[in-house]
A and B are shown apart, each in its own frame.
Chain A
Amino acid sequence: MISSRHYLLIGILFVLTGISILFSLLSGSIDLELSVVLSELIEPGSALENQILREIRIPRTLAAFTTGGLLAMSGVVMQVLLRNPLADPYILGISGGAAVGALSAILLGAGSVFFTNAAFAGALFSILLVFGIANKFGQWSVTRLLLTGVVISAGWGAVINILLTTSSTNNVQSMLFWLMGDLSQSQVYLGHYILLAAGLAGGLIISRSLNVLSRGELFAQGLGVNLGMLRITLYFAASVFTATAVTIAGSVGFVGLVIPHILRLLGARDHRILLPCSILLGGSFLVIADSLARTLIAPQQLPVGVVTAVIGVPSFIIILRSTMTK
């Protein structure tokens, strides 16, 4: 059911997205004037400030937005797939696999290209491992998938701990940043934007089926949903969103879990609305969090994952309280 309230929500989120991006472009170790930002967007300049903007701030802001959007969308899909409000993009062990790949690359002193490939390979391995085990014995139930994911996740956790405890102090620092989520090394490419756009387009195409599946698998089948196909599609879509986000920025927590819930509490329960809103709110949330991560204790930087939790927890509780007393 789409109402004018939903269009208003989307409108507000677009404005929020614009503000968050502007905020991010203006803030950092060097303060930039609004006029510089605006003139750079119209006509690229050659001053130092323009270079900072073009080579550092804009790419980083776009990386934050893309990562946040992917994580929020993945969270929406995981929560429907598992019909579990506690589900988040990392619940099935994808981030664990990516972390083991990334940490191993750090341990081996690998360069950034190898590093991102290692993280993505780890995530991919974990996706296939969980799918293979959960699928192995015929009937693919949500409980089996969830249990498999949680157990594999715990296994990765153990490997991560081994890597952390056996690494040099120097490496441990960058490992911890990666594990908490960090955008300082992030790069996004055209492929990432295409994935985000294609994910949204695909999500909108099956959004009605997501609405039906939210009410249960039998119910969905009774209303004509091809459950087997849908489940596999959702599993791999959410997994690829997560794997990509984790490859860009490490395991940024909280966005994928809480953004979908905040939007549902604000009335965006229909996936035709929830999916685009989750990209806008997830993206702008991470853009703001990353701006704060760069500026709060400048010139030092905080891992963005710490900031997402620090702003996310109280705002979620406030929204939860205000919608419960209605």
Chain B
Amino acid sequence: MTSLIIESLTLSIEDNILCRDLNLKINENECWGLLGRNGVGKTSLIHSIIGVRTIDSGQILLDGQNISELSRRAVAQEIGVLFQDSIETLPATVLETIMLGRHPHVQSRIKDNQNDHAIVDSVISELSLSELSDRQLSSLSGGERQRVAIATLLTQTPNIFLLDEPSNHLDIAFQISVLDTIKSKLYKRPASILMATHDINLAARFCDYFVLLLENGEHLQGSKKEVLTAENLSKAYGCEIQSIQTKENTLYYPV
């Protein structure tokens, strides 16, 4: 089983405290939403979980082991991150890029492995990317690039998914289908998700637990019911947010 534990984590940027004394335990099969206004530290939190950003204090434990003591490769075998920015200055095709997702698992430095190819092929068909697979990244639209990034993440086959704005550039149909695809991994194997997003309604649809980052390093966490209240959200975003109940969902909107 794979568990991620964040213990009394404090993060700051320059003199600004992003989060103070954050404790969080993400168990397998849990889907967490990470909400908060711009610049509050959602991306920094995700980066610090995999150890690419220095933390002020606290520790991050992956299956009981401190992440700073694990090799980066070992971390990458367990935790996959969907980053916000990608770089396309040097050319690469869609297929080549998705194949890179196998990097933490490759056995040979030179030879490709049939199993890796099989994983790539199945991800490509799952995300309906086969028509794009020979295209250059630079020729893709923003939404297509995002789907390629998500395909690369799925190819990595991590047990913990950290998603930074997964719905970026995606139209509403792809937002749902892509997140459905990722979430279906939770039931096929012991996986978990932490998803930072601006889209409260999308998060409410997919996540069962929430971390809400507030100003000055404060934060709220708990089940959807406890955290996603109009009052908490209004406080977090500094603007009045109300909710309405539809047949299936609770929807949130600014007044």
Contacts and interface: CB of A to CB of B under 8 A. Distances in A.
Interface of A: 1-2, 79-80, 83-85, 204-209, 211-212, 214-216, 218-219, 221-227, 264-265, 269-270, 272
B50 A221 contact: yes
Given A221-B52, A224-B103, A225-B72, 19 more contacts: A83-B87, A83-B90, A84-B89, A85-B90, A204-B109, A208-B106, A212-B100, A216-B83, A216-B86, A216-B87, A218-B47, A219-B86, A222-B76, A223-B101, A223-B104, A224-B71, A224-B75, A226-B71, A226-B73
Given A1-B95, A207-B109, A269-B96, A224 B73 contact: yes
25 contacts: A79-B90, A80-B90, A83-B90, A84-B89, A205-B109, A209-B103, A212-B100, A215-B92, A216-B85, A216-B87, A218-B52, A218-B83, A219-B83, A221-B52, A222-B83, A224-B71, A224-B72, A224-B74, A224-B77, A226-B72, A264-B90, A264-B91, A269-B90, A269-B91, A269-B92
Contact of A83 (B71, B89, B100): B89
A271 B108 CA distance: 14
Interface in B63-119: 71-77, 80-81, 83, 85-87, 89-93, 95-97, 99-101, 103-104, 106, 109-110, 112
Interface string B34-67: 0000000000000100101000000000000000
A221 B51 CA distance: 9
B29 interface: no
A214 B104 CA distance: 16
Q: Which are the 10 A-B pairs with shortest beta-carbon distances?
A: A224-B76, A224-B73, A216-B87, A224-B104, A223-B103, A222-B81, A214-B90, A221-B52, A224-B72, A218-B83
Nearest to B137: A215
B156 interface: yes
Nearest to A264: B91
Nearest to B155: A223
Interface of B: 47, 50, 52, 71-77, 80-81, 83, 85-87, 89-93, 95-97, 99-101, 103-104, 106, 109-110, 112, 156
A266 B169 CA distance: 31
Contacts of A214: 87, 90, 92
Nearest to B108: A208
Given A215-B87, A224-B77, A2 B72 contact: no
A260 B236 CA distance: 50
B100 A211 contact: yes
B197 to A, nearest CB: 18
A269 B134 CA distance: 13
A209 B74 CA distance: 15
A161 to B, nearest CB: 32
Nearest to B120: A1
Given A214-B90, A224-B73, A207 B110 contact: yes
A90 to B, nearest CB: 19
A215 B95 contact: no
A79 B100 CA distance: 19
A38 B43 CA distance: 65
Contacts of A79: 90
Nearest to A270: B96
Contacts of B110: 204, 207, 272
